[in-house]
């Protein structure tokens, strides 16, 4: 034992009996692992871009085979689907794509070919001949082939979201992970400091919760609000300050009511400045990140970001919230813009600064969690 610092914050708050039960669980499970896991919850009104922004933060990547419609030759490339932008690279690790395709919302159709796990993406309502005439003989239709059924289902679902812009119904929960230079440096410093990282593999497990924005679902959000979470609160900047920004008040008051005042948000340097301290009652339980979307809209003036941020911070204080972070992004990534990368790094650094990161958890807890995840995955596959 290394003191009460290895016990989860939630257990410490429940008193002596629960602490004793948890210590007994740890004793009976000496191979317990430190857990590097957090929750990411995205809220906002309808059509602010919640699902699209998640697809930008967690891009889908992998090797797929592509076949042109004239010459029946399949070539394997590395593809990256981020939001509504598909990039094709010659191989994994390349920085410069061979081709960039932006799928305009609702202007494309996505169909499964069935054979050889193929997927066809084509302009809606246009024949192949019309496509060739429009592009001077170059096919606009895209045919991709996946290596197996599971990969086919994942790419088919994401391509449909990118091209058809379907609204989220209810709550969609995904299992994702973060792994980049920030996380690798974090775990490297932990190892140098003599801290255990278990089976994390240099990754942070993330449970992603995407809530529907329709008004019918507003009152249901409160039942799923909890600590150990980074909250992304989105507002649509193209709607203007009065309608878009003031709409944040609803979400701020809801979070303030069910969570209380947040601890100070870690600075961007805190997570990597030194080996993080063990969990403590005074640490950060959760953080709020406000994201302005539709940065590419003609009505949005980028130079006015400081003014917008100051107004949002004032609204947050009126609602009883403490510090928060603020980002502005566009989900149109056909043109290289680093705002989405800044947001992703900000989310990662915020999670790493939370006090519960690296808590030691009995192996039995993790086994149950993994079984539940596998059961949910099997249920989703059977529904498809």
Strand partners, 65: 76, 145
Q: Residue 271: its pLDDT value, please?
A: 44
Report the predicted TM-score, pTM, of the whole model to 2 decimal places: 0.80
Architecture of 60-163 per CATH? Answer: Roll (2.30)
Q: Cβ of 25: how many Cβ atoms within 10 Å?
A: 16
CA-closest candidate to residue 84, choices 101, 99, 98: 101
In order of 12, 73, 239, 377, the CA distances from 211 in angstroms are 30, 42, 20, 19
Cα(6)–Cα(356) distance, rounded to whole angstroms? 9
Cα(332)–Cα(294) distance, rounded to whole angstroms? 8
| Residues 6 or more apart in contact with residue 199 via CB below 8 angstroms | 33
Bridging pattern class, strands 286-293 and 118-123: unpaired
Buried b (16+ CB within 10 A) or exposed e, 351-372: bbbbbbbbbbbbbebbeeeeee
Q: Which residue has the tokens 């305009």?
A: 104
Q: Residue 348: its pLDDT value, please?
A: 95
Q: Residue 185: its pLDDT value, please?
A: 92
Where are the chain's structural domains? Answer: 11-57+168-379, 60-163
Architecture of 11-57+168-379 per CATH? Answer: 3-Layer(aba) Sandwich (3.40)
pLDDT by residue, tens only, the chain of 384 residues: 344 445 555 566 666 766 676 666 655 555 567 889 999 999 988 888 898 999 999 999 999 998 765 556 788 999 999 988 999 999 998 999 999 888 876 688 999 997 789 999 988 865 544 444 444 444 478 899 998 999 999 999 999 988 876 666 667 888 899 999 999 999 999 989 888 888 777 899 999 998 775 666 666 666 678 888 999 999 999 998 888 888 899 889 888 888 865 444 444 444 444 444 444 444 677 899 999 999 999 999 999 999 999 999 999 999 988 889 999 999 888 766 689 999 999 999 999 999 888 877 766 656 656 655 666 656 655 655
Cα(76)–Cα(80) distance, rounded to whole angstroms? 13
Long-range contacts at 128-131 (CB < 8 A, ≥ 24 apart): 128/69
CA-closest candidate to residue 143, choices 212, 199, 88, 222: 88
Encoded tokens for 226: 């909890």
Main-chain phi, psi angles of 44, to 5 degrees: 160, 165
| Residues 6 or more apart in contact with residue 295 via CB below 8 angstroms | 237, 302, 328, 329, 330, 339
């Amino acid at each position: 034992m290394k003191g009460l610092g290895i016990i989860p914050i939630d257990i410490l708050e429940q008193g002596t009996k629960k602490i004793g039960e948890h210590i007994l669980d740890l004793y009976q499970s000496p191979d317990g692992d430190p857990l590097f896991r957090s929750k990411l919850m995205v809220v906002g009104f309808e059509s602010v871009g919640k699902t699209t922004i998640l697809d930008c933060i967690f891009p889908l990547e992998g090797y797929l085979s592509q076949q042109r419609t004239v010459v029946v030759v399949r070539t394997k490339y590395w593809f990256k689907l981020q939001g509504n932008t598909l990039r094709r690279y010659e191989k994994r690790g390349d920085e410069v794509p061979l081709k960039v395709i932006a799928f305009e919302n609702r202007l494309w159709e996505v169909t499964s070919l069935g054979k050889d796990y193929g997927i066809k993406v084509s302009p809606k309502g246009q024949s192949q001949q019309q496509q060739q005439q429009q592009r001077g003989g170059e096919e606009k239709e895209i045919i991709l082939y996946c290596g197996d059924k599971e990969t086919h289902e994942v790419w088919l679902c994401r391509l449909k979201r990118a091209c058809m812009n379907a609204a989220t119904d209810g709550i969609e929960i995904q299992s994702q992970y973060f792994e980049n230079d920030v996380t690798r440096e974090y775990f490297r410093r932990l190892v140098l400091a003599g801290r255990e990282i278990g089976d994390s593999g240099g990754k942070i497990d993330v449970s992603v919760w995407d809530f529907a924005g329709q008004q019918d679902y507003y009152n249901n959000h409160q039942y799923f609000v909890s600590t150990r979470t980074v909250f992304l609160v989105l507002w649509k900047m193209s709607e203007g300050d009065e309608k878009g920004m003031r709409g944040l008040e609803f979400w701020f008051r809801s979070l303030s009511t069910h969570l209380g005042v947040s601890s100070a948000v870690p600075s961007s340097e805190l997570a990597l400045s030194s080996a993080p301290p063990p969990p403590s009652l005074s640490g950060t339980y959760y953080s709020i990140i406000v994201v302005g979307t539709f940065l590419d809209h003609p009505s949005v003036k980028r130079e006015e970001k400081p003014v917008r941020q100051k107004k949002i911070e004032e609204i947050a204080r009126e609602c009883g919230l403490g510090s928060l972070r603020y980002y502005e992004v566009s989900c149109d990534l056909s043109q290289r813009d680093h705002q989405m990368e800044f947001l992703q790094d900000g989310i990662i650094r915020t999670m790493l600064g939370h006090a519960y990161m690296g808590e030691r958890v009995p192996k039995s807890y993790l086994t149950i969690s993994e079984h539940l995840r596998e059961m949910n995955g099997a249920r989703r596959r059977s529904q498809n």
